[in-house]
Structure formats: C-alpha cells, structure tokens
Structure 1
Amino acid sequence: MIDRCSRTIDYIRISVTDRCNLRCVYCMPEEGIVPMSHGDILTYHEILRICEAGARLGIRKVKVTGGEPLVRKDIEVLIKGLQSIPGIEDVTMTTNGCLLKEKAALLKAAGLSSVNVSLDTLNPERFAEITRRDCFESVMEGIESALEAGLKVKINCAVMEELSKEEVLAFARFSMERRIPVRFIEMMPIGQGKRYKAMENDDLAGILSETFGPLRESREVKGNGPAVYYTWGNETGFVGFISAVSHRFCGSCNRVRLTSDGFLKLCLDSPAGVDLKRPLREGISDGDLLDLMKQSIQSKPESHHFEEDNGEASPNMNQIGG
C-alpha cells in the first residue's frame, strides 16, 4: 500500500518476544528487564491474522525478530504459517545465532529463506564483553549449520566507536573467505544505545579501501532493507552500510513494525501506531482489522528525529524489535 508520503509499504518486522539470552551492552541493561507475561504477548494465531491483513494491504516481506526469536517455543510453526499466507513472498529472521545450530534445518524446512546473524566482533573475548555472555562458539556453529541447511546468511555488526581497525578488516576477510555479506549498522540513539556513538561510514570505508583497494558499489547482494553494499578486488567479499542517523533513508522507508505485545509501530523513532492486540481479543472482524491497519499505516511519519534528543527515556531495542 501507499502511505501519505507516497512510499510503498511492503515490509513488516515482527517481534515475537522481548526475551533474549544475551545482554548486549547497547541493547539491554546488565540485569536484564522484567519480561512481559506470556499472556501479554501475541499468540501465533494473532500474528498470522495481522499478517494476513497486511498481505491484503500489500505487505510482501516479513522479518521475524525479538528480543531473540529463537527463544520462543516452536518458532518454526510460525515461520511455516507466515510462508503459507497468500501474497507473502519472503520470510526472513534476525537472530543472535546462539540457538541457530539446533534450529537451522527446521527453519529452512518451514520456509525461512535467510538469517541475519547479529555479531559485533570476531574476537571471542570481545564478544563476551559486548554480550555479557560466553557463547561465541555457539554462534559460529549456528552460522555453519545455517549454511549447511541452505539458508542465506548475512552478518549484522552494530558499529560502536570501540570497533577497531583490526576488527573491521577481520570482518572483511571473513566475508571474503566465506562469501557472507557483512553489514555495518550505525548505532541508533535508542534505549541503551544512547550511551554509544557510531563510527562514521567514511571511516569504515577508508579502513577497507586502504587495505583492499577502492570500494565499488555492488548490485549482487540483495535484501529487503536499506543496506548499500560494496565490494572490492575480485568481488569475493561484500560489506553493507546501514546508516539511519547520518544518511537517513526515511524517504524510501518501506517498513512497519509489530511489537511482541501487539502494537503496530510505524517508525522506530516515533510513538505513532496503533494497538492491535486489544481489538483482536475483543473479536474484531478481518475486514475491520484491515481497515484499522490501513488507516494507521497511511499516517506513517515522514521521518525520524534521532538528532533531536529531548531527554526522554526510550524503550530498549529488545522491546521494539529494532
């Protein structure tokens, strides 16, 4: 469907839980959060009803997120249900990878096409510092299992000032060796992330080009999001830059988000949206649900305002499926 800014909205990110088995420094406080009760979280049936209405409105791509989506029981059942909705063309997932080894084959069989694995360093000790957990090897085994199962894999690296030249180059070499795209994602000032500052894309590109030669924009790597991909040399490695703050892409934003407790969130940096859980549980018809979603999506904000810090507290990323 088309919103009031003439943008085509065809992509929804669905948070299936606010729980996570890691405690990444930019995402959650060390002590964690008080999780929502199971009764407050949407059931799979409710999620599927929302996605069926979304598909009728033109939603074609679905990303399943959390928290950590693989901690939710029988997540492959939801994947299969999403994949079977007429109009839905692609179902993908973002995961920290800790449980991916056990789930990869089931996810592929259910219809998942790809996984984005959040991995901010290839140094096991640094990984433990960032995540406050010691499961680096489990993540690497999960990546291997995903590839063996036939899933496409991308790496998501949240870029903080502490990212060193050596780590940037290590990711580039990893991409070259494994032919797995690595996306450097600019830190967004949301929740715990407000305490960190991102490294500029130009600095990242400079580190890469200094070692590997000039970067060239690549059209080979495709995804459902806003990453701009580059390659170099003989095109065995690929890196992507996602820069929501410094190079805002609001004018071409094609997505909405569904939080685990049923709020249709129209922009990561805005309270705009509508609660869908209450109407669902009060017996709303499919037609009225579609109309409610349509009316809300048409009023999607024109842009974010990350540069305007009003001092107000914002939810942590695990709570909004960022």
Structure 2
Amino acid sequence: MKTKTEIKAPVLTDRYGRVHDYVRISVTDKCNLRCVYCMPAEGLPFFPDEKVLSCAEIIQLTKNLARMGVTKVRLTGGEPLLRTDILEIIAGIAAIPEIQDISVTTNGLALKRLAKPLYEAGLKRLNISLDTFDPERYKEMTRGGNLKRVLAGIEAASALPFEKIKLNTVIIHGQNDHEMADFLRYTFEHAVNIRFIEFMPIGQNDQDWQAKYVGIEQAFAVCRANGWDYQPITLSGNGPSENFQIAGAVGSFGLIHPISCSFCENCNRLRITADGCLKSCLYWDDEDSIRASIGDFAAFEQRVQQILANKPENHQMALDQQDQVKNKKPTWRHMSQIGG
C-alpha cells in the first residue's frame, strides 16, 4: 500500500503554467460574527441548508480533486466550525490518501471546545482571525464578538501539536493599524505566525475600501522604530505571505499584500463556494456550479478543466488598475460567501 508521500498525482495546470494543488472549500456561508471587512452591518441572507454542500458531497469532490492533483485542502466559511458535522468532514478528507495537508480558517470562538477534537480528526493547521487585542475594538470590528473567547481558543489550540497556527490580521486604517507593534510583540513569546493582510475590495464600493486601505509594509517601519532586527524566513504551508522573524522571537510575522504587490503569478488555488460553485479567482465574478457533476468523475474533471482554462492571469485589484478593466466585473459575493 502506497503512503501519502509515495503517491504520484497528475498535475492540474492553467494556461499560464500555474500548477493548482490547493483547494479552499467554503463549508458554510453562515457566521456568528459580522466582521466589517467580511459582511455588511445588516448581515446577509444565508443559504438554506439544502443549497449548501453536504458532508458526503464535500468529501467526494475532494476525492475527485485529489485524483486531479490536489494535495492540500483548507476549509473556510463563513465560520466552518458552525457545521455540526465539521469533524466528520475533516476525518473524511484526512482519510483520502493523496491529501497531504488539511487546515481550517476560523474566527476561534469555538476553539476552546473543539481544538482537541479537530486535531484528533486529522486537522494539521489552523488559521485564526484576530484583528485587535482591544476587547471593545474587537466587539466593534466583529459587531458583537467576545475577544476573551478567541484568546482562550488560541491558548487551547497552542497546547496541542498542530503543525502551525497562524493569526490572520486584516489591517484597516483608523481601526487597528496602530496595533501592529502589539501584534509583532506577541510573536516574542507565542509560537504563531501573525499574518498582516491588506484590506481588499471584496463586496466593497471603491470609496469605502480605498479609505480603509493601509499598505502593510509599514510593519517594517514599526520594527525599525522599536529597534527590532528581523530577517526573512521560509515557512511550510500554502499561503502567499512573505514571512519574517524578529531576532529573539519564537513566532514570526507574514505580509499578504494583494493590492500593493499582487501574488497572482504564483497562484495555486481553486475555491469552492458553500453552494457548490468553483471560482478560479477570488476577485472576479467568474464562477460555475460543479455540484451536479460531483458523482460523475469524468464530467467533474471536464468541468473543472473548462473553468481552469478561463482563469485570468491576475485579479487587478490594485489601486491604479481598476479603471483599466473593461471586460470583467468583480464578484457579487461578499468575503463571507467565498471564504477568502
């Protein structure tokens, strides 16, 4: 019997030569928070249960993609830990021989209770959203969240042998950009990777998102202002971040800058929405349903290949490129309906 490392999978490649071995699957559009960059203040109408992919469908589509060369899976939402069958989903995916890595992006509210069961089900890595250390600001940015619960969840997860824990921090002008030093200082004694992420125009109008945008390269200025030496490092994983470590810190920090420095040339990911649509790019409206073909591998493979063949070369989210785009329109979905 072949081990996971011995299995030779085919290569799923687009017209620009980018190899796609990573899929992000949104297992629900539901969330128990209303983060300012993810969802409008009034919330969104959630899909009825029958419109959302079932556990069996998620596992089968992952098996199909594994046959096509996908080896890494990230489960997203909405909030994936709201699914009552999330442990069954993870265990089912972890049992697929070709899948070498499975991770989850979560708001962390349920982690104190679920961290150990998630690990035992086969989860290898965690990304936890944390945009501030200020309890009141956290409540404002998430529109009602409890920071104490998230920090307790991070503590519970950190006590387990996950391969990596990353904290996702979206930097927004006038809300948390002044806290970058606090997050960098957190890496001194916590073995996590803080990932500073630029605010993106997903579900935002131009005026709103440009007013909130902050170039995250200011993390370097913060380091210099505090006298912290830092060096680039290499971390295992599937993300597009450039990673660094401050001298003497046990953790590290990363920069994800889709606006100021597009990472499209190395994009290796596909995205499945909770209602079964395949998006080849986070930003553009292009998407097609693959749900009906999940049970027919030949039809599924053909559908995925067709969608991948139309994947654009880049997302063109940058500030100075928006007016140049004539033949495409941005996605209608909010970030919570895609999963990032």
CA contact (8 A) 1:7 1:251 kept: yes
Give the equivalent residue in structure 2 for 1:116: 127
Q: Report the Cα distance in structure 1 between the residues aligned to 2:156 and 2:334, rounded to whole angstroms.
A: 30
Q: Report the Cα distance in structure 2 between the residues aligned to 1:222 and 1:285, rounded to whole angstroms.
A: 34
In structure 1, the gaps of 5 or more residues are none
In structure 2, the gaps of 5 or more residues are 1-11
1:35-46 → structure 2 map (5 Å cutoff): 35-46=46-57
Q: Report the Cα distance in structure 1 between the residues aligned to 2:75 and 2:285, rounded to whole angstroms.
A: 21
State the Cα distance separating 1:295 from its structure 2 match.
2.7
Q: How many residues align?
A: 318
CA contact (8 A) 2:73 2:99 kept: yes
Give the equivalent residue in structure 1 for 2:240: 226
1:241-252 → structure 2 map (5 Å cutoff): 241-252=255-266
Give the percent of matched residue pairs that are identical in Structure 1 and Structure 2. 38
Give the equivalent residue in structure 2 for 1:15: 26
Secondary structure at the aligned position of 2:187 is classed as helix
TM-superposition CA deviations, 1:89-124 (whole Å, max 9, x none):
000010000111111111100100011000001111
1:274 corresponds to which of 288, 306, 317: 288
Give the equivalent residue in structure 2 for 1:321: 339
State the Cα distance separating 1:167 from its structure 2 match.
1.1
State the Cα distance separating 1:15 from its structure 2 match.
0.3
If each structure's helix is expressed as a fraction of its own residues, which one has the higher value? 1
State the Cα distance separating 1:81 from its structure 2 match.
0.6
Give the equivalent residue in structure 2 for 1:199: 214
Q: Report the Cα distance in structure 2 between the residues aligned to 1:85 and 1:274, rounded to whole angstroms.
A: 25
Question: Is 1:86 aligned with 2:97?
Answer: yes
Q: Report the Cα distance in structure 2 between the residues aligned to 1:186 and 1:312, rounded to whole angstroms.
A: 18
Question: Is 1:261 aligned with 2:275?
Answer: yes
Secondary structure at the aligned position of 1:64 is classed as strand
Q: Is 262-271 or 305-314 further displaced after alignment?
A: 305-314
Q: Report the Cα distance in structure 1 between the residues aligned to 2:279 and 2:330, rounded to whole angstroms.
A: 18
TM-score (norm 2): 0.89
Q: Is 118-127 or 311-320 further displaced after alignment?
A: 311-320
CA contact (8 A) 1:190 1:317 kept: yes
Q: Report the Cα distance in structure 2 between the residues aligned to 1:255 and 1:91, rounded to whole angstroms.
A: 14
TM-score (norm 1): 0.93
Q: Report the Cα distance in structure 1 between the residues aligned to 2:271 and 2:118, rounded to whole angstroms.
A: 21
Paired AA for residue 276 in structure 1: I
TM-superposition CA deviations, 1:253-277 (whole Å, max 9, x none):
0001000000010001112232112
Secondary structure at the aligned position of 1:212 is classed as coil
Label 1:316 to 1:229 Cα distance change in 2 as closer, same or farther (>3 A): same
Question: Is 1:140 aligned with 2:151?
Answer: yes
Q: Is 131-140 or 233-242 further displaced after alignment?
A: 233-242
State the Cα distance separating 1:193 from its structure 2 match.
7.7
Give the equivalent residue in structure 1 for 2:309: 298
Secondary structure at the aligned position of 1:293 is classed as helix
Question: Is 1:102 aligned with 2:113?
Answer: yes
Q: Is 286-295 or 192-201 further displaced after alignment?
A: 192-201
State the Cα distance separating 1:28 from its structure 2 match.
1.0
Secondary structure at the aligned position of 2:139 is classed as helix
